[in-house]
Structure 1
Amino acid sequence: MNSPILNNLFSRIQLNPRDGRAIYLQLSDGVRTLIKNGQLSAGQKLPSTRDIAKLMEINRITVGKAFEDLQMQGWLESYVGRGTFVTLHIPDLEPKKLQNQVVDKAQKVAGFAVHENQYRHNPYFISTAALHLDDGYPDPKLAPLKELYRAYRNQLTRSGLYRKFGSYGFPDGPEIYKETISRYLNETRGLRTTQKNILSVRGTLMGINLVCTALLKPGDIVVSGIPGWQRAEHNFLHAKAKHIGIPVDEHGLVVDELKKICKRTKVRMVYVTPHHHYPTTVSLRIDRRLELLRLANEYGFIIFEDDYDFDFHYNHRPLQPLASADENGMVIYCGSFSKSFSPAVRMGYLVASENVIEHLTNVRVLLDRQGDHILDNAMADIINDGTIQRYIRKTLAIYGQRRDFFCDLLANELNGAVDFTVPDGGMTVWTEFDKSINLEELARLAYDKGLYISNGKIHQYPSFNKNAIRLGFASSSIEDLTKSIHILKDII
C-alpha cells in the first residue's frame, strides 16, 4: 500500500479467527464501518486485494470475498482495469477520529427519543431459586405434556398441510378450537355459546390488552378492586382510561362503592376476578354478584370477568361465572390454560356477544394476525379425548392436599408471625405478616438461601398497605413446602 493513511486504517480492522464469524465477513464489516464513519469517502479508490491480504496477513481470496460482499450490498463499485472504489451513492461524511476498534458494536442507546414516561414501569423477575412460594402457578410435573406433545405432533402429520401451513387462518382462532372451547364452557361453566362467541388469545393479558385497545377511549372510567392486578391496571392506563379502585373485603368487591360511583359518573368497564379475587383469593358473594350484573344492566358498563383459575376450588364445586347469568351481553369472559396447565403455554380465550367478538377480531389482526393454530388444535384434541378433564380431577386432589399441608405448616411453624385464612380455592394463600417483619428484606434473605417469595411491592397502594403477599403452594411438592417454610422460620 502506498498510502500510509489507508495502511493505518486497514491495519486497525481487527480479525478474530475464534469469533465464530467468517473472516471475510469480519473484514467486510470493518470496511463498511470505515465508510460509515467517513474515514473512507465516496469515490475513494481502495488498495488492491493483494496489498490488503499482505498487510493483514490473510488469504487474497478472503479479501476478494469481502469486496464481493460489499459490492452486493452497494458499498463498493468495481471497474475492470481501474480497481475498486467506494460507491458515489453515499454522502461524503465528515471523517471521525480514529479509534482502537472500528468493527460495529451492538447499540445500547437509540438515536431517537424513547418516551418511557408515557408507560408505567412493568418490572419482571425470573427466579433461579430451587424453591419457590410463587404467585400461584401449577406444577408442570403434573401437566399432561406428553399428551399435548402427541396431539401437536399429530397436527403436523395429518392431511390438509396447505390449509394449516401454506396460508393464514381465521384471526379469531381455528374452527375446531372455537367449537371445542364453546362446548367445554357450556358443559363446565353453564355458559350458552357457539363458536361465534369465542376468540382465541395468547393468555389473559393479551385478552385484557385487546379489550382495552378495542373498547376503551381516552377518559373512559374503569373500576376494579384494590388490591388488584397491576398488569391489568397498567393496561387501563395505557389505553388512557381513568382507573378508580374500590375496596375488597372478605366477601369480595364492595359493590356498594361501585353503585356510588355509577350515580355520579359514567363507568365504561368494571374489571373483576369474582371466583378467586386477585390477590386476596376471596370469592365474590352471591348477592354482590347479582347486584353487579344488575348495575351493569342499569348503567350500561362492561363487566370484564377474569376467571383465571376456575377449576381449582376445593371445598365444593366451583362457583358459576358471572357470564353464566348474563342475559343482556354485558360480560366479557376471559379464561386461560396458563394457570391451570402451564404458564409457558400461552393460550386462552375471550367469550362475548358475536358483534363484540367480530370487533375484537378486527382489532386483533393489527396486533397478531392469528395465534398458534397448531397448538390450539392440539389443545382441542386433548379436551375432546378427555385428557384435560382427567388432569383437572387428578390435580384438584393433589393441590387440595398441598393446600391443607401448607396451611398447617404456616399455622404451626410461623405461629404469631403470620395471619391468613385457608382459601376455598386457587393456588395461593394470601398471607399477612407481622408489621415488624420487613417483607423486602425477608424476600432478599430467603432468595440467598434458595427460596423465592414476593417482596409484596406489587400489592401496595396509597389506600392499601397491608404487609401481605401471596404464597403459592400448588407448584411445590410436600417436601419442598416443608423446606420453604423452615427457611422462612429460620430467617424470622
Structure 2
Amino acid sequence: MFSGTPLIDSTQQAKYVQLANQIRDAIQTGQLMPGDELPSARQLGLLFEVNRHTVMAAMQNLVAEGWLLSEVRKGYTVNTQLPVIESVKISQQAKVTEPIVPQFAYAVGDIESPSITQYKYNFAGGLPDVCCFPFDEFRRSMNRVCRQANASLLHYQSVAGEHVLKTQLLHYLRAARGLTCDDILVCNGSQEALFLIGQAFVQPGQCVAMEALGYPPARKAFQAAGASIVDIAQDQHGLCADSLAHCLSKNDVKLLYLTPLHQYPTTVTMPVSRRMEIYQLCVKHGVFIIEDDYDHEFHYSCPPLQPMAANDPAQIVIYLATFSKIMFAGARMGYVTASKPVLKQLTALKQIINHKNDVLMQLAIADWMASGNFERHLRRMTKLYRQRCEVMDKSLRGFQAQGYDIQYIKPQGGMAYWVDLKRDVSQLPKKLLQAGINAHTEQNFCHSPRALYTHIRLGFAGQAEQGIEQGLNALFDLL
C-alpha cells in the first residue's frame, strides 16, 4: 500500500485531478504494483482528506486512461498490462541516465529568427514598412469575405489556390508584368515554392547553379533536396554566361536559380542581352530556370523589364513571386507559374506537405485586388520607396564627401543598396548588433568562403527617412 498525502488547496488544479496525479505517480514509481487492490473510496477520502465524489471522479479518470481496472464487488485494482511499468523496470535495471541522441538525415543548422524589435535602426534588405500598410482598408476586405464565406471553400480542396485569387493574379501578371500564363499555384510564401521545386527536380548528388552571392534560404531549400550548390561568377551585369557555360559542361545541373530584375543581394538588374544568352545555354543543356521576381513592383528609374518567363518558348522558366514585399511577411502568400507538367508536379507535392493555403487570406487578397485598393497601395509604396531610395543615395554621397572611401551603384529599383566599404567587414556584424543596427554584410550571402569581405547590404524600405539618416550616421561611426 502507498502513503498518500492530503491535497494542497492552494493549487489551481481541481482536487480530483490532484488525486489522480498522486495515484498515477504511485503506479509509475512502483509504489503500487500491477494487480494491487486500492482501498475503498471511503478510505481514500479519509487518507487524502477529500469527499467520496472527488475520489470517484479521480478513479473514473484513471480507469478511462487505462491505469486502473474496475471490478464489480472488488473495487479498483492496478492494471496488470501497463508497458510503462515494464519500461521503468528495464530502465532501472540498465541504469539508463543519458538521452538517446537523434540521428538526422542531414544537418539543417540553427534557426535564425531575430526579433526586429531588438534593433533601433532597421536596414534589412527585404522588409517593407509595415506601418504604412492600409490595415483598415484590408480589414474591410477580410470582413466582407467572412460575412459572405462559402462553407464549401473551407474544406480540403483547391490545393493550388482559390479560383478568385488565381483569376486576379493572372490578370495582374498580364497587365503589370506582361506575363501571360495559363495557371498558377498559390503557396505559403516563395520559400515553400522553392522547397517544392527542389523536391520536384533534384535527386541527391545533382547540382543547382546559383550566383556566387545569392539568397541563403533558396540554397537551404535546394540542399534539403540533396542538391550540391555550384557557384557561378558575377560581374556588373549579373551572372556571367561564360562561367555558367563552363559549369553546365562539367556538372549534372538540374536547376539555375536567378533573381534577374534586382539581383539578391547586389541589386544589379540583368540586361536583356545577358538574359537571352543565359536562356539559350539552359535550353541547350535542358536546365530549368527558377526566376525569383521577389520585388518586381518597386522599380524607379524606368518601367521594369519583362520577366524571362514572358518569352519562354522552351517552357523551362519557373516563375515565382511573393506578397511579402507588398504586404508583410506574415501574410505567407506567394505564387508560382510554369508549364502544365511542372505545375501539376508541384501541386501534387504541395498536397503532401500542406493541403492548402489560408482560405480567408486568399479570399481577402482577391477582394482587395478586385476593389482597386491593391493597385493604389502599390502606387503609394512605390512613390514612398523611391523617395527613401533618394534619401539613402544623398546620405551615402554625403559620407563620400566627408572622406569615407566607399563605392556603390545606385540601384534601378528594389529595396536596398549594395555598398562596398573598401575594408574588411568580417567583424562588423558584432558591432552592428551591439549598436542596435540590423544590416547584413557580404559573408551572409556567400556559399563559398572568401578571403576578404568588404560589402554591406543596406535596405531603405523598412524605415522612415529620419531613421535612414540617423541609422547611417550610427553605422559609419562604427567604421
Does TM-score exceed 0.5, indicating one fold?
yes
User: 1:439–1:467: 8 Å Cα contact kept in structure 2?
Assistant: no
SS in 2 for 1:344: helix
Moved more, 463-472 or 148-157: 463-472
Alignment equivalent of 2:116, drawn from 116, 120, 127: 127
The residue that corresponds to 2:148 in the other structure is 158
What are the residue-to-residue correspondences of 1:55-454 with 2, within 5 Å?
55-91=47-83, 92-93=85-86, 113-115=102-104, 117-129=106-118, 130-158=120-148, 160-161=150-151, 163-165=152-154, 167-194=155-182, 197-413=183-399, 415=402, 416=404, 418-435=406-423, 438-447=427-436, 451-454=437-440
State the distance in 1 between where 2:231 and 2:447 align: 10
The residue that corresponds to 1:482 in the other structure is 469
State the distance in 2 between where 1:50 and 1:483 align: 75
State the distance in 1 between where 2:80 and 2:178 align: 72
Alpha-carbon deviation of 1:119? 2.9
Kindly tell me: are residues 317 and 39 of structure 1, through their superposed partners in 2, closer, same or farther at Cα, counting changes over 3 Å? farther
Alpha-carbon deviation of 1:76? 1.2
State the distance in 2 between where 1:279 and 1:346 align: 22
User: 1:203–1:346: 8 Å Cα contact kept in structure 2?
Assistant: yes
- In structure 1, the gaps of 5 or more residues are 98-108
User: 2:7–2:49: 8 Å Cα contact kept in structure 1?
Assistant: no
Moved more, 76-85 or 202-211: 76-85
User: 1:454–1:469: 8 Å Cα contact kept in structure 2?
Assistant: yes
- In the alignment, residue 421 of structure 1 is paired with which amino acid? I
SS in 2 for 1:340: coil
Alpha-carbon deviation of 1:78? 2.1
Kindly tell me: are residues 39 and 458 of structure 1, through their superposed partners in 2, closer, same or farther at Cα, counting changes over 3 Å? farther
- In structure 2, the gaps of 5 or more residues are 91-97
User: 1:281–1:429: 8 Å Cα contact kept in structure 2?
Assistant: yes
State the distance in 2 between where 1:53 and 1:488 align: 70
State the distance in 2 between where 1:460 and 1:446 align: 24
Aligned residues: 467
Residues 27-67 of structure 1 deviation map (CA, whole Å, 9 limit, x = unaligned): 43443344334443222222344444444444543333222
- In the alignment, residue 138 of structure 1 is paired with which amino acid? P
Alignment equivalent of 1:24, drawn from 16, 19, 23: 16
State the distance in 1 between where 2:470 and 2:74 align: 77
User: 1:76–1:86: 8 Å Cα contact kept in structure 2?
Assistant: yes
Kindly tell me: are residues 352 and 77 of structure 1, through their superposed partners in 2, closer, same or farther at Cα, counting changes over 3 Å? same
Kindly tell me: are residues 378 and 57 of structure 1, through their superposed partners in 2, closer, same or farther at Cα, counting changes over 3 Å? same
State the distance in 2 between where 1:30 and 1:258 align: 68
Alpha-carbon deviation of 1:135? 2.9
State the distance in 1 between where 2:413 and 2:16 align: 62
State the distance in 1 between where 2:349 and 2:87 align: 47
State the distance in 1 between where 2:472 and 2:370 align: 40
User: 2:190–2:321: 8 Å Cα contact kept in structure 1?
Assistant: yes
Alpha-carbon deviation of 1:463? 4.6
Q: TM-score, with normalisation over the residues of structure 1?
A: 0.87
State the distance in 2 between where 1:32 and 1:352 align: 58
User: 2:424–2:453: 8 Å Cα contact kept in structure 1?
Assistant: no
User: 1:15–1:27: 8 Å Cα contact kept in structure 2?
Assistant: no
Kindly tell me: are residues 157 and 94 of structure 1, through their superposed partners in 2, closer, same or farther at Cα, counting changes over 3 Å? closer
Kindly tell me: are residues 393 and 87 of structure 1, through their superposed partners in 2, closer, same or farther at Cα, counting changes over 3 Å? same
The residue that corresponds to 1:103 in the other structure is none
Alpha-carbon deviation of 1:95? 6.0
State the distance in 1 between where 2:238 and 2:132 align: 31
Kindly tell me: are residues 24 and 483 of structure 1, through their superposed partners in 2, closer, same or farther at Cα, counting changes over 3 Å? farther
The residue that corresponds to 2:460 in the other structure is 473
Kindly tell me: are residues 176 and 110 of structure 1, through their superposed partners in 2, closer, same or farther at Cα, counting changes over 3 Å? farther
User: 2:320–2:336: 8 Å Cα contact kept in structure 1?
Assistant: yes
The residue that corresponds to 2:95 in the other structure is none
SS in 2 for 1:70: helix
- In the alignment, residue 143 of structure 1 is paired with which amino acid? F
User: 1:422–1:429: 8 Å Cα contact kept in structure 2?
Assistant: yes
CA RMSD of aligned residues (A): 2.6
User: 1:431–1:470: 8 Å Cα contact kept in structure 2?
Assistant: yes
Percent of residue pairs bearing the same amino acid type: 29
- In the alignment, residue 279 of structure 2 is paired with which amino acid? L
Kindly tell me: are residues 56 and 200 of structure 1, through their superposed partners in 2, closer, same or farther at Cα, counting changes over 3 Å? same
Kindly tell me: are residues 179 and 468 of structure 1, through their superposed partners in 2, closer, same or farther at Cα, counting changes over 3 Å? same
